[in-house]
Structure 1
Amino acid sequence: MPQQLLNNFTSYIQRQQLFDPSQKILLAVSGGVDSVVMAWLFKLAGYHVAIAHCNFQLRGEESVRDENFVKSLAAQLEIPFFHTRFETLEYTSTQHISIQVAARELRYNWLETVRIKEGCHYIATAHHMQDSVETALMNFAKGTGISGLHGILPKQDKIIRPLLFAEKDTLIAYAAWKNISFVEDSSNVTDKYTRNFFRHQIIPKFQEITPAAVKNMAATTDRIKEAEYLYLEAVERKKKQLLIQQQDNWLIPVRKLAKTIPLGTIAWEIFKTFGCSVAQTQQVLALLDSESGRYVETSSHRIIRNRNWLLITPLTAIAAPLQVIDKEQQHIHFAGGQLQIKAAPRDHTAIPTASHIAWLDAAQVTFPLILRKWKQGDYFYPLGMPKKKKISRLLIDQKLSLPEKEQVWVLESGKRIIWVLGIRIDDRTKITPNTQTVVQFEWKKD
């Protein structure tokens, strides 16, 4: 009943612990019936509020009408009023995004700025029960998994939705009962937007079969919301059993993952964290039966079958540049760490054995040197071998994973590779009985 709406409103806020009555709330008011009724409810309940309105300048005079209406509403309710106008179409063009996405970004970024500046604790939006059901149905159609089926949450960070308990018809009835004026957005009539199609075409069909469909579906989303807590706890336990972190990389044992039940669900929850889409999750699962070296590349990571493991490694955003090293330089910082260079007389008793140190015959080292990542086609003469060898083959022999191969650096002198850092020097630059002076290179990873 509309006359019970105010009591239900304050009860819902208390039950959901949306905010403390002493806190100031910024109300996002468009001028439509939902947000206008919300503003009246906040005023009648005696909460400390301010009103914010965004003019997206997409509907000409109608947008100006809405702005003026909300300004008058704020004056009528004696509530502080803040407003802004956006060049939405220009933003859409420069950011290469849809109008809906542009409006959402502009709106929430501005609201957050006002919230902070005006000392408000939360931003309240007027999403109601049908909005939540529409969201759950759209997510169900898109295949977002259980996290998308709980509909709109009452509280997320600094956003609260105090009308989720109310049906749209109840808000309209309350406005009529209280003789509350509001404006209509003409864009809500068209079905070209996905939400409007669900609102005007899909949900009415459900209601033809089951008049209480919206209430029933809202109750189901509430149960899903509670079930999600248990679900996420179970998922976290599985993640801890499967995921092993090594700096920026992650390892998953293939056999252990293959035996996991339910495999598809756990795989989706793990790999979506690494930019995996629903379709790519199936490709990742195919790696469980593939040979070593196969991989799936997501928007942010590469997932590689590496012998008995799935190796998850972030994509390198920018290729590492080469560095030119002059003879005077002794300390070089580069993407792979630090390189220290010094010359010294040959010491027959102190030949280094550590892989991160290379002693080369100074007579065979010509400056300037080039420090760079290795590339396909590179070759050199590994120490102790009379024949040249491709570095790609050397790295295979070293049993390096794909991400490890991508982090291999080489030092070049006179267009020939003299050291594969941390792995092998070139035989032609080794110390011999005739060596008089040694150049020492010491590599330290950051």
Structure 2
Amino acid sequence: MNLLTKFTDHIKLKNGFTNQHQFLLAVSGGIDSVVLCDLFHKAKLQFSIAHCNFQLRGAESERDELFVKELAKKYEVDIFVQHFDTKAYAENNKLSTQVAARDLRYDWFRQLIAEGKASYIVTAHHADDNIETVVMNFFRGTGLKGLIGMDEHFQQVWRPLLGIRRKEILDYAAQHELQHVEDSSNASSNYTRNYFRNEMLPAIAQVFPQVVENLLKNIARLTEVELVYKQAIANYKKQLVEIKGKEAHIPILKLLKAEPVRTILWEILSEYNFTAAQVDEILKLMQADNGSYVESPSHRIIKNRNWLIIAAKKAEEISNFIVVEAQQKKVDFPGGSLQFEYDIPASHVTISADASVAFIDAHELHFPLLLRKWKKGDYFYPLGMQKKKKLSKFFIDNKLSLIQKENTWVLESNKRIVWVIGQRLDNRFKLQPSTGSVVRVKLISK
């Protein structure tokens, strides 16, 4: 079966798209997106083109833009072009170039959708891209979802070539004599994806020649496994969760008989913004005294006799809690924003007296962190002191005004205050002679 027939059959069988829909194709000018354009044209689907000029490769970026504009003329379709100062955005937000480009690209795509330019964004991701994603996710330590890879449909993004091998795309381009431009950075293994594409997967193929085909089969199997998993979790939730008004009630004895209890409990709790790191804490809660509870940014789970009760917190409480995940680069909160920089060698750090910057021993941090307003009873060990001090006493000693007190936030790790934001680091988190890796946190005030 030729690629065009496979493409059109897939649309009819699985997607139900017709020539009444308007699609916005993300086109770089590379061979994948060029073939995508030709398939849409020959399938008589209405489309326009969106091209991002990230201004990262000088004259080559300008060449790509001109090529895509000519492509739009060839197919007689509308084209939207956006220029980004990607380097500045990456530096300002402490992001890698790849992540910055992705964020900029999809933010613009969503804007075009919101402006009514199209109903769907279409990308040229194919099966080999998905394989690379799955392998990267495996080494990152993601769960079942990460081992399935990309979704063909995600919100308003559609990836119709996800079941197509790159060899089929190359053969189609050669057969139809389609011109394209080559991104010179694809040959470099400095980028994570390129390293897996150019170095790791070819090395594995030397030992397991069928690695790509086997991974595609695994993706198909695990996609079906996820369906079974979701069905099983839905059944457990139906058996274990009783909704009473605005609360969710879980019978402890019944929950403890469920297997595997940790996974089932996590699937229930994730809907209420609890983190995977809190599951063990909530398992201990079942043996705790009545009235004991564990909090997420939006909910409390309370032990009440033989029940766990999940209840929403008050609106004013919710606004005072923000979860900070591992490797998160920026967090906005009412007092401004925090910018995080990770994996800094301690030997490269020069500590200053700037109260808006905290250098923290990475070994002492346990993610996710909690960014919250201080509350009565809070205490910490002020930098340079071996004894704990209540924050209320710390504020008095430092002559803070009532407004300053009310606007004080703290960064918390595993129920220990790490930093009274913009004021004092906790002594337990300071850099030591043994410190290897450092996390730098900077407060950007409003």
Same fold (TM > 0.5): yes
Q: 1:220 aligns with which of 199, 218, 222?
A: 218
CA distance in 2, matches of 1:303, 1:189: 51
Q: 2:130 aligns with which of 127, 132, 139?
A: 132
Q: What is the match of residue 72 of structure 1?
A: 70
Q: What is the match of residue 52 of structure 2?
A: 54
- Equivalent residues in 2 for 1:26-41 (5 A)? 26-41=24-39
Task: Give the TM-score of the pair, scaled to structure 2.
Answer: 0.64
Q: What is the match of residue 427 of structure 1?
A: none
Identity of aligned residues (%): 43
Q: Which moved more, 1:165-174 or 1:25-34?
A: 165-174
Unaligned runs of 5+ in 2: 322-374, 379-446
- Equivalent residues in 2 for 1:262-411 (5 A)? 262-292=260-290, 295-298=293-296, 300-314=298-312, 316-318=317-319
Q: What is the match of residue 82 of structure 1?
A: 80
Contact map agreement 1:18 1:154 (CA 8 A) in 2: no
**Alpha-carbon shift at residue 275 of structure 1 (Å):** 3.1
**Alpha-carbon shift at residue 78 of structure 1 (Å):** 2.1
Q: What is the match of residue 194 of structure 2?
A: 196
Q: Which amino acid aligns with 1:109?
A: D
Q: Which amino acid aligns with 1:133?
A: I
Contact map agreement 2:18 2:45 (CA 8 A) in 1: no
Say if 1:200 and 1:309 are closer, same or farther in 2 by CA, change over 3 A: farther
Q: Secondary structure at the match of 1:31?
A: coil
Q: 2:258 aligns with which of 240, 257, 260?
A: 260
CA distance in 2, matches of 1:186, 1:310: 57
Q: What is the match of residue 151 of structure 1?
A: 149
**Alpha-carbon shift at residue 306 of structure 1 (Å):** 4.7
Q: What is the match of residue 426 of structure 1?
A: none
**Alpha-carbon shift at residue 52 of structure 1 (Å):** 0.8
**Alpha-carbon shift at residue 74 of structure 1 (Å):** 1.3
Say if 1:249 and 1:190 are closer, same or farther in 2 by CA, change over 3 A: farther
Q: What is the match of residue 103 of structure 1?
A: 101
CA distance in 2, matches of 1:306, 1:194: 48
**Alpha-carbon shift at residue 153 of structure 1 (Å):** 1.9
CA distance in 2, matches of 1:93, 1:306: 49
Q: Which moved more, 1:190-199 or 1:150-159?
A: 190-199
**Alpha-carbon shift at residue 220 of structure 1 (Å):** 2.5
Q: What is the match of residue 187 of structure 1?
A: 185
Task: Give the TM-score of the pair, scaled to structure 1.
Answer: 0.64
**Alpha-carbon shift at residue 319 of structure 1 (Å):** 5.8
Say if 1:319 and 1:117 are closer, same or farther in 2 by CA, change over 3 A: closer
Q: CA RMSD in A?
A: 3.1
Say if 1:57 and 1:285 are closer, same or farther in 2 by CA, change over 3 A: farther
> Any idea what the Cα deviations from partners look like across 1:329-384, whole Å, max 9, x if unmatched?
xxxxxxxxxxxxxxxxxxxxxxxxxxxxxxxxxxxxxxxxxxxxx9569xxxxxxx
**Alpha-carbon shift at residue 50 of structure 1 (Å):** 0.9
Q: Secondary structure at the match of 2:318?
A: coil
Q: Which amino acid aligns with 2:182?
A: E
Q: Which amino acid aligns with 2:31?
A: V
Contact map agreement 1:16 1:154 (CA 8 A) in 2: no
Find the structure with the greater CA-based Rg.
1
Instruction: Figure out how many residues of one structure are paired with residues of the other and give that number.
Output: 323
Q: What is the match of residue 410 of structure 2?
A: none
**Alpha-carbon shift at residue 286 of structure 1 (Å):** 3.6
Contact map agreement 2:249 2:309 (CA 8 A) in 1: yes
Q: 2:207 aligns with which of 188, 191, 209?
A: 209
Q: Secondary structure at the match of 1:22?
A: coil
Q: 2:170 aligns with which of 165, 169, 172?
A: 172
**Alpha-carbon shift at residue 163 of structure 1 (Å):** 0.8
CA distance in 1, matches of 2:97, 2:247: 37
Q: What is the match of residue 413 of structure 1?
A: none
Q: What is the match of residue 384 of structure 1?
A: none
Unaligned runs of 5+ in 1: 321-373, 378-446
Q: What is the match of residue 396 of structure 1?
A: none
Q: What is the match of residue 235 of structure 1?
A: 233
Q: Which amino acid aligns with 2:60?
A: E
> Any idea what the Cα deviations from partners look like across 1:108-131, whole Å, max 9, x if unmatched?
232233235455232111010011
**Alpha-carbon shift at residue 8 of structure 1 (Å):** 1.6
**Alpha-carbon shift at residue 37 of structure 1 (Å):** 1.2
CA distance in 1, matches of 2:188, 2:312: 43
CA distance in 2, matches of 1:301, 1:100: 35
